Amino acid sequence: MINQVTSPVIEVHDLTVSYDQSPVLWNVDLSLPSGKLIGILGPNGAGKSTLIKAIMGLVNPTSGYVKIFDHRLEDVRNRISYVPQRESVDWNFPASVLDVVMMGTYGKLGLFKRPGKKEKEIALGCLDQVGMMSFVNRQISELSGGQQQRVFIARALAQEADLYLMDEPFAGVDMATETAIFQLLKDMTAKGKTIVVVHHDIHSAMNYFDWIIMLNLHLVGSGPTELVMTEELLRKTYGGKLNLLTKVTELIRQKDFNPLKN
């Protein structure tokens, strides 16, 4: 099931990505709406992170192309914020929490301008939103994994972008933090921001996302959560692993959704 979108934020056309001549994404074609919290779901190795990286231009497609805001990536890069997987970052670099978040403001500064009082206020406000104000002067390397993740989300917020792409941003964070940050993301979409999240937890995805992309090397489904989260599409996405998802499929049968629509 693939929903087409008028005036999409992201258009992916016939996208194939291969590593060492082995396709990890095959002929993906989708469009995504603006102002939504969008989740990318699928089993390990399904190509979820590769899709995000292809949208960001971090991997070269074998075929196909991506348009963002109806433009090439190069023309709208300043409107996009990217949060990579925590494991892909060298956390030993010498920088304070405040320094890391202020890096998010650099894109809007002139070539030779240094961040000042305004940028510091933006960074502090973003740290407050993710509950990290008490760690402002701490070295980033001294934080726990979940704390580091919250700082990177704060850095993304400081970019004041229109489109946010987040690769497993909730890996290693506790449930209270996950719930609080998801509510923050919902508040951002209410202001017109579009947020695309690679996510691993199917049960919480049902409650949090407005729109779901289901991947397993190829595109299984893309559309509003209540239409895409069906037992049929879950089986196509996860195959024989569906016995692990009995709780989810039971919720689907009961239509026991609780999206954060407010």
CATH number reported for the structural domain that contains residue 207 in this entry: 3.40.50.300
Q: How many CB atoms lie within 10 A of CB 123?
A: 25
Please count the structural domains in the chain: 1
Rounded CA-CA distance 49/105 in Å is 25
Rounded CA-CA distance 5/30 in Å is 9
Is residue 36 included in any domain, yes or no? yes
Phi-psi region of 109 (alpha: psi -120 to 50; beta: other; left: phi over 0): beta
- The span from the first CA to the last CA of the chain, in angstroms, equals 27
DSSP string, 151-177: HHHHHHHHT--SEEEEESTTTT--HHH
Is residue 97 included in any domain, yes or no? no
Is residue 225 included in any domain, yes or no? yes
Q: What's the gap between Cα 206 and its chain centre? A: 16
Residue 259 has pLDDT above 50, yes or no: no
Q: How many CB atoms lie within 10 A of CB 221?
A: 22
Residue 231 has pLDDT above 50, yes or no: yes
Computed over every residue of the chain, the mean pLDDT equals 86
DSSP string, 176-214: HHHHHHHHHHHHHHHTT-EEEEE---HHHHHHH-SEEEE
Determine the structural domain holding residue 17 and report its residue range: 1-69+163-172+196-262
Is residue 123 included in any domain, yes or no? no
> What average pLDDT does range 133-154 have in this prediction?
89
pLDDT-wise least confident of 189-198, 228-237, 253-262 = 253-262
pLDDT-wise least confident of 4-8, 83-87, 88-92, 233-237 = 88-92
Q: Are 123 and 105 in contact (CB under 8 A)?
A: yes
Rounded CA-CA distance 53/220 in Å is 19
Helix (H, G, I), strand (E, B) or coil at 252: helix
For residue 22, what pLDDT band results from cuts at 50, 70 and 90?
A: confident
Is residue 12 included in any domain, yes or no? yes
Please report the pLDDT score of residue 253 as a whole number.
61
Please report the pLDDT score of residue 256 as a whole number.
53
Q: How many CB atoms lie within 10 A of CB 247?
A: 10
Is residue 131 included in any domain, yes or no? no
CA angle at residue 261 from 145 to 52, to 5 degrees?
A: 45
Percent of the chain with pLDDT over 70: 85
Please report the pLDDT score of residue 68 as a whole number.
96
Encode pLDDT of 56-79 as tens digits.
999 999 999 999 999 999 999 989
> What average pLDDT does range 154-178 have in this prediction?
88
Is residue 218 included in any domain, yes or no? yes
* CA gyration radius, the chain: 18
pTM of the model: 0.86
For residue 21, what pLDDT band results from cuts at 50, 70 and 90?
A: confident
Rounded CA-CA distance 19/27 in Å is 15
Is residue 188 included in any domain, yes or no? no
- Helix residue spans in the chain (DSSP H): 48-55, 73-76, 97-102, 117-129, 145-158, 175-190, 202-208, 225-228, 231-238, 246-254
